[in-house]
Amino acid sequence: MPLVHQRRFIIAVICGGLTLILLMAIGLYGLIRGPERASPPDRLAVETSAPSVSPGRADEPRPVLLTSNAELFASSVARALFNWDTRHEGGPAEWGQAPLDVADAEEAPALASDVRGYLPSPEMWERLSAYGTQQRLDVESIAVPESWSTALQQATAGQLPPGATAITIMGTSHRVGTWNTEVIRTERPVAFTIFVACREGQPCVLLRLSQLDRPLK
């Protein structure tokens, strides 16, 4: 093969490879992008050996733990917000119902809007379901933010319900799905604050949620 043809052949192969990589990146975009928020980018890893995400049945929504312990309650709420599986026949509204089932009655309408901010939109859910996407949360720290004591001092009488407290949670959100025969995993750090009210002798109730990645400190 003449030298000039060899060079053209090599260039064509390289260009074809770059095009394939680009197409793959576009195809995976719906899986690896999370909600449009100012937060650190997802970290991506590709596993070429596994043909599917999970051979088992799809996960299903789980209720929030009923407890008077604020930290245990907040941890359960956090997992209810982040742990979902698009292979389940229910959409994001069904997965978002668990936190609303433990909502304070007066705060429920506003809380419903908060919860929607943590879940993919119906359109994004449909795109993610094409990859059988699942998400889960690893909770790494749970603490009452320092600014909460100031908020309590500044609150007027009756402004906060009895037993109200704020719990800031930091962790890592993990997503996994399949594209063709490749298992795609993404992860990113998350931080948020859960506002709860734990009255003596009664299970805690959920008041509100901060915006994702904008917790109290």
Sequence-ordered list of residues with C-beta below 8 angstroms from that of 82, at least 6 positions apart, any chain: 118, 135, 136, 137, 173, 190
Query: Has residue 14 got a pLDDT over 80?
Result: no
Question: CB-side exposure of 119: number of CA atoms within 13 Å?
Answer: 28
Question: What is the predicted pLDDT for the residue at 56?
Answer: 63
Mean of pLDDT values over 168-190: 95
Number of other residues whose CB lies within 10 A of the CB of residue 122 = 10
Angle (deg, nearest 10), helices 122-129 and 3-32? 130
Query: Has residue 142 got a pLDDT over 60?
Result: yes
Domain ranges of the chain: 33-209
Mean of pLDDT values over 38-66: 60
Query: Has residue 205 got a pLDDT over 80?
Result: yes
State the pLDDT confidence band at 45, using cuts at 50, 70 and 90. Answer: very low
